[in-house]
Amino acid sequence: MPPATPAPTFWDSDTIERTVTREFVCSHLIPEEIAKLDQTPSFGDGLTDLTYWEWINQKAKRFFLILVDLDLPDQIFGLIDDSWEDEDLPIPRDQVERLALKASKDEATEWKFYLRQYRYIMRPLNEGEHLNYDDDEIVPVYFADKKHMGVQSQPLTKVVLPNHPGAIFSRAKVTLGPGRMSEEEFMCEVENLKALQHDHLLSYWASYIHRGCGYVIFRQAAEYSLKSLFTATPSCFKKLEKKDRRQTVMNWIFCLVDTICFLHNRGLVHGNIKPSTVMFTEDNQVFLCDYNHFLTQLLSGQLESDANSFDKEMYDYSAPEMWLSSLPSSPMSFRSAKGRPTPQAADIFSLGCIILELLSFLAKKHGKPFATHRAAKNKMGSRGAAVPDSSFHKNLGQVESWMNQLAHDLAKKDDPTFKGVPMMLHVVEDMLSYYPAERPLANEVQTRTYQIVTNWCGITEPHCVHKYGEWEHTFSSLSLGSSYTGSKSTISTARSSRPSSGGNLSSGASSLSSSYIQPGDEYMRGAVRDIPEGKAVPRKFADEKQNHWKAQGHSFWDLSYVQPV
């Protein structure tokens, strides 16, 4: 990261106290004036017992600094004689003349005093605070460097605050006024942002209004997005050890799932999950932006949305129901009695797309190759475009075949991180269900992802550590809660051709009388998944899940095996 641009001296109370000492004052006065410091002001006569130095030290340090700045330090005696003190600052422009800074009226000097005084009475921003600054006030917020980072090709600048040395923040700006957002509307949106604080959301830190514009300071300083990661891997990620890079990606997956769970548990949705809205910092901390309408407009610089614009990236990563006037009823709806699509279900689909992109990134098969594969059998352009439609929701068959190949490729890897990828692909497969009602809820995705990351990927403490209870996977009122005393088990996938209609899809299952899956039992892909060490899978659970998958009629079928390690 380029070094932050040095900010001007921030004259807070501590800095002023340290600076304006008797030695400092004497260094700006001639000997005759120094001798006068120990005398009593001319208005004395019992009105004050303070000497000139004591008045400066107790009441006029800021005044003295301003006069030094104007090269008029000797005028401090006249100001004290007229009883001026720091509490009188700022002096309105039409009252500066009363200070009698020069023997005769001097407009230039008065203007300089009026403007320079704000250097020494700056009001700092602090966490959770909103300030309204006067037009001529100096706002102590400075650019971190000359490079503006972009979100959706619009500026979101990195800034530093002198009262928080070492920290770098992000700042967004919106113009206020007639025909635009009003100050009251801005403050209402600020309060909404304050209510959502999460390590992996672009979170409000402070805000202010200055010269007709509203500004929001965010605690994260983003450098990159997943969109840029998939195009050119930044140095902050490249410099990590190979194992650390892989674990970072798996941590990102869990953190993103945890964040969507945070939103959904509060009855909220993100509504715009795509690579460009998944950001990460120079120290590889991931977070989501654009999670409400105001924030989307604020970061895009457009407070009036263009109804005619088409966001291809959003189209590619959005759920099927977002682009259909009506969605066919699900053949087996386990999530909703009426199978009605919900915005939260659309979030789950989009998040599944992001997770699959990240898993592909682990296999170095992300970006253009994946998009080309998705569009390989779809010659129709997207929304009238000349290029083939490479969206996820229009090419679910191709997405599924990609996952099959991905599982096959990663199975050859020795790194322990990859052991959880096949099970994570099972989770993604559910998330990418064509029918909204059949996608898992965020809480379920969170629990399953946590188990995969901690039990199979070797990450004992994910970045988002939560206290989970006994691992439980509910499905049609069934759960995996019984202990398993047999050998350790793992899940692997092998591709198989689709069986004929009505065939026996699980020949081994019907002949076994045990109530739990045994090592070597065969089930369709999706029937057996996420088996932590020391747990058992009820056969009734697997059979019911298998029937569900058969009813969905997927174009590809895989066999899953539970094998002893």
Say how many C-beta atoms besides its own lie within 10 A of residue 316's C-beta: 21
Range in 105-109, 175-179, 527-531 the model is least confident about: 527-531
What average pLDDT does this structure show over 145-149?
A: 54
- pLDDT digit string, tens, across residues 538-559: 555 566 656 655 555 443 333 3
Judged against a pLDDT cut of 60, whether residue 75 lies above it is answered with yes
CA distance 196 to 291: 10
CA distance 204 to 171: 10
Range in 128-142, 425-439, 456-470, 494-508 the model is least confident about: 494-508
pTM: 0.72
Predicted confidence at residue 15, as pLDDT, reads 93
Query: In Å, how far are 420, 515, 536, 556, 565 from 520, measured between CA atoms?
Result: 19, 15, 14, 21, 11
CA 343 to chain centre: 20
Percent of the chain scoring above 70 in pLDDT? 70
Predicted confidence at residue 541, as pLDDT, reads 57
Alpha helices in 105-170 (DSSP H): 107-116
Eight-class DSSP state of 321: G
Predicted confidence at residue 92, as pLDDT, reads 96
Q: Which residue has the higher pLDDT, 479 or 434?
A: 434
Q: Are 470 and 483 in contact (CB under 8 A)?
A: no
- pLDDT digit string, tens, across residues 153-177: 345 788 999 999 989 999 988 889 9
Judged against a pLDDT cut of 60, whether residue 192 lies above it is answered with yes
Predicted confidence at residue 479, as pLDDT, reads 28
Q: Are 531 and 562 in contact (CB under 8 A)?
A: yes
CA distance 414 to 311: 40
Range in 71-75, 92-96, 410-414 the model is least confident about: 410-414
- pLDDT digit string, tens, across residues 355-397: 999 999 988 886 688 988 998 887 665 555 567 889 999 999 9
Quick one: CA torsion of 19, 25, 29, 34, rounded to 10 degrees? -160
